[in-house]
């Protein structure tokens, strides 16, 4: 299992890659599979603001692109004082692959940590059944 120290080092390395010239709110997310593989993502903004994509969705799509749908945890890193929770759209996207996922969010600046079950953040996610 990856240590918190390794996660922080990975997130610190990736944070400059977040492309957030409009909001200046940089986010790194890392999807961890059940077998412990890590797939990162950063937020990528666009001058047509609505085209922006959150770091969490980039991380999930990175895992799926690499053949891994068994997402177990999503780590989130921001530079805010308090850890942030994922937006509603990202909650639904994570639930597509694992409604039982765990979300772990850290502040890179204060080291504070919060953890939720995805089910707490998005009870009754949409599905077609």
Binding footprint of ligand THU on the chain (CB under 6 A): 20, 23, 25, 27, 43, 45, 52, 54-56, 86-87, 90
Q: Which helix (H) or strand (E) holds 38?
A: strand 38-42
Least separation in angstroms between residue 106's CB and ligand THU is 13
Residue 70 has phi, psi (to 5 degrees) of: -85, 65
> Does the annotation mark 56 as catalytic?
yes
Least separation in angstroms between residue 40's CB and ligand THU is 12
Active-site hit among 56, 82, 96, 100:
56
Q: Is the dihedral of CA 2, 4, 6, 12 positive or negative?
A: positive
The count of C-alpha atoms lying within 13 angstroms of the C-alpha of 58, restricted to the half-sphere facing its C-beta, is 20
Least separation in angstroms between residue 31's CB and ligand THU is 13
Q: Which is nearer to ligand THU, 65 or 129 (CB)?
A: 65
Q: Which is nearer to ligand THU, 7 or 54 (CB)?
A: 54
Residue 110 has phi, psi (to 5 degrees) of: -105, -15
Residues annotated catalytic, as ranges: 56
């Amino acid at each position: 299992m990856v240590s918190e120290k390794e996660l922080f080092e990975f997130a610190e390395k990736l944070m400059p890659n977040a492309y957030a010239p409009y909001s200046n709110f940089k986010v790194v997310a890392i999807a961890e599979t059940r077998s412990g593989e890590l797939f990162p993502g950063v937020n990528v903004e666009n001058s047509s603001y609505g085209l922006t994509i959150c770091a969490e969705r980039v991380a999930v799509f990175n895992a799926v692109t690499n053949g891994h749908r068994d997402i177990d945890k999503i780590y989130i890193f921001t530079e805010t004082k308090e850890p942030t929770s994922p937006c509603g759209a990202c909650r639904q996207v994570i639930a597509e692959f694992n409604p039982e996922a765990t979300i772990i969010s850290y502040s890179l600046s204060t080291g504070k940590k919060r953890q939720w079950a995805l089910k707490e953040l998005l009870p009754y996610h949409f599905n077609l059944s």
